[in-house]
Structure 1
Amino acid sequence: MKHCEISIVIPVLNEEETLRELYKRLISILEKEMKISYEIIFIDDGGHDTSWNIIESLHTENSRVKGIQFSRRFGHQYALKAGLDYAKGKVLVSMDADLQHPPEVIHDLYKKWKEGYQIVQALRKDTKGESKLKKMTSTCFYHLLNFLSDIQIEPGSSDFRLLDRQVVDELKRLNERQLFYRGLIQWVGFKHYSLLYIADKRFSGSTKYSFSKMMSFALDGIMSFSTKPLRIAIVLGCIVSLFAFFNIIYALFAHFVYQRTVPGWTSILISVLLLGGIQLITIGIIGEYVGKLYIENKKRQNYIIQETIE
Structure 2
Amino acid sequence: MITILVPVKDEEEGIAPFVSRVSVILDALNEPEGWEILFVDDGSRDRTLAEVAVQHARDPRVRCISLSRNFGKEAALSAGLDHAAGRAVIPLDVDLQDPPEVIADMVRSWREGFDVVYGVRRNRESDSLPKRLTADLYYRAHNYLSADKIPEHAGDFRLLDRKVVDVIRMMPERNRFMKGLFAWAGFHQTAVYYDRAEREVGTTKFNYWKLWTLALDGITSGSTLPLRVWSYLGGIVAIGTLFYALYLVLRTIVHGGDVPGYPSLMVAILFFGGVQLISLGVLGEYVGRILVETKHRPIYVVRETIGVPIQPVTR
User: Is the 1:77–1:179 Cα contact (8 Å) retained in structure 2?
Assistant: yes
Unmatched runs of 5 consecutive residues or more in structure 1: none
Q: Distance in 1 between matches of 2:8 and 2:70?
A: 10
State the percentage of identical aligned residues. 40
Residue by residue over 1:24-69, the C-alpha shift from the partner in whole angstroms, topping out at 9 and shown as x without a partner, is: 11111011x2122001100011111111110010110011111011
User: Is the 1:254–1:262 Cα contact (8 Å) retained in structure 2?
Assistant: no
**Residue 228 of structure 2 is aligned to residue 228 of structure 1:** no
Residue by residue over 1:157-201, the C-alpha shift from the partner in whole angstroms, topping out at 9 and shown as x without a partner, is: 100000001001111111110001101111111000011111111
| Structure 2 partner of 1:306 | 303
Q: Distance in 2 between matches of 1:135 and 1:204?
A: 22
| Structure 2 partner of 1:78 | 75
TM normalised by structure 1 equals 0.95
CA RMSD of aligned residues (A): 1.3
Question: Which secondary structure state, in structure 1, belongs to the residue aligned with residue 122 of structure 2?
Answer: strand
Q: Distance in 1 between matches of 2:77 and 2:7?
A: 6
**Residue 100 of structure 2 is aligned to residue 91 of structure 1:** no
Question: Which secondary structure state, in structure 2, belongs to the residue aligned with residue 204 of structure 1?
Answer: coil
| Structure 1 partner of 2:234 | 237
The residue type equivalent to 1:243 in the other structure is G
Q: Where in structure 1 do 4 or more consecutive aligned residues deviate above 4 Å? A: none
Query: How far 1:250 moved relative to its partner?
Result: 1.8
Question: Which secondary structure state, in structure 2, belongs to the residue aligned with residue 69 of structure 1?
Answer: strand
| Structure 1 partner of 2:25 | 29
Question: Which secondary structure state, in structure 1, belongs to the residue aligned with residue 104 of structure 2?
Answer: helix
**Residue 79 of structure 2 is aligned to residue 108 of structure 1:** no
The residue type equivalent to 2:29 in the other structure is M
Q: Distance in 1 between matches of 2:197 and 2:14?
A: 13
**Residue 5 of structure 2 is aligned to residue 9 of structure 1:** yes
**Residue 222 of structure 2 is aligned to residue 198 of structure 1:** no
Q: Distance in 1 between matches of 2:216 and 2:183?
A: 17
| Structure 1 partner of 2:48 | 51
Given candidates 246, 250, 254, the residue that maps to 1:253 is: 250
Question: Which secondary structure state, in structure 1, belongs to the residue aligned with residue 155 of structure 2?
Answer: coil
The residue type equivalent to 2:19 in the other structure is Y
The residue type equivalent to 2:233 in the other structure is L
Matched residue pairs, number? 305
| Structure 1 partner of 2:291 | 294
| Structure 1 partner of 2:143 | 146
Q: Distance in 2 between matches of 1:39 and 1:230?
A: 44
| Structure 2 partner of 1:219 | 216
**Residue 129 of structure 2 is aligned to residue 125 of structure 1:** no
Equivalent runs, 1:149-160 vs 2, <5 Å: 149-160=146-157
User: Is the 2:18–2:96 Cα contact (8 Å) retained in structure 1?
Assistant: yes
TM normalised by structure 2 equals 0.94
Summarize the Cα distance change of 1:262–1:164 in structure 2 as closer, same or farther, 3 Å threshold: farther
Q: Distance in 1 between matches of 2:264 and 2:238?
A: 15
User: Is the 2:15–2:48 Cα contact (8 Å) retained in structure 1?
Assistant: yes
User: Is the 2:56–2:63 Cα contact (8 Å) retained in structure 1?
Assistant: yes
Query: How far 1:150 moved relative to its partner?
Result: 2.5
